[in-house]
Amino acid sequence: MANGGPVCGPISTFSRVQLLHLLFEASAVQTRSERTIGELCDATGLHPNTVREHLQRLIEGGYVIQASEHRTTRGRPRTLYSAATGTAEASSPIARDKAKAAAERGDLLRRVLPASASASALGRDATYQLDALIEHLEESGFEPVVDDEQLTVDLSPCPHAAGRAEDRPMLCTVHLGLMQGVLTEAGGPLAAETVRTTALPADCTVQLRLTEMTAA
């Protein structure tokens, strides 16, 4: 952030980034999208209690979904965790409520702002998607600047610029997944395509795109 404020939200610690990265990787595998506490501990080296605490915070934020394993044999079912990608199979009620509340707050602001700051020319659904995305980014410590024409969101200066350079690829991948989940949950024509970076660590721009159906 420009004012040097703390990084917050779902990517506030590297441990959460690791967990989200594992869950997003699992969501891309058709055979099994969930992971257990044990699997996450083995992959990260974190203590089970630490993993549970991080997962609980991510669940409360609407970024992770918790479910009980369906067993066909005797025994206590395991708890399974998956990334909330916003699809019908991985939709979080908390994320849906956050998207709805963001749209309501956006409508309220548009009623009191000048006409030049009215709803996006992309249409109502895209405007509501941007409402949800902007709130997510602000909660995560960014100061987003949206360009409706270029379909970009400028996040410079990135509050993660001071972190380790070797962690940036994973961080950017996770944050792109989070943004895509927010946009999908809000419902509309916009999708998050890529996070563009430069040689300067503080420079960061998200490229959005219209879905093929909408563009056609």
First to last CA, the chain: 37
Residues 6+ apart with CB under 8 A from 212: none
**113-138, pLDDT tens digit by residue?**
765 455 567 889 999 999 999 999 99
Q: What is the DSSP letter of 167?
A: G
Q: Which two tokens stand for residue 32?
A: 């099994």
Q: Residue 210 — φ and ψ, nearest 5°?
A: -85, 140
| Res. 199: pLDDT tops 70 | yes
- Helix and strand numbers (H, E) in the chain are 7, 6
Q: Which CATH number fits domain 9-215: 1.10.1420.10, 3.30.465.10, 3.40.50.1580, 1.10.10.10?
A: 1.10.10.10
pLDDT band at 200 (very low <50, low <70, confident <90, very high): confident
How does the average pLDDT of the chain come out, rounded? 87
Asked if 95 and 62 count as a contact pair (C-beta separation under 8 A), the reply is yes
- Percent of residues in the chain assigned helix, strand, coil, to nearest 5: 50, 15, 40
Q: Where are the domains of the chain?
A: 9-215
Record the pTM: 0.88
Place of tokens 């380790």: 164
Place of tokens 């891309």: 28
| Res. 207: pLDDT tops 80 | yes
pLDDT band at 215 (very low <50, low <70, confident <90, very high): very low
103 three-state secondary structure: helix
**11-23, pLDDT tens digit by residue?**
889 999 999 999 9
CA 168 to mean position of chain CA atoms: 16
Q: Which two tokens stand for residue 15?
A: 């441990």
* Measured distance CA(175)–CA(44) in Å, rounded: 18
Q: What is the DSSP letter of 10?
A: G
pLDDT number for residue 138: 93
Of residues 3, 38, 19, 61, the one with CA closest to residue 171: 19
Lowest average pLDDT, out of 61-65, 115-119, 165-169, goes to: 115-119
**77-96, pLDDT tens digit by residue?**
889 999 999 998 899 999 99
| Res. 3: pLDDT tops 50 | no
* Measured distance CA(169)–CA(160) in Å, rounded: 12
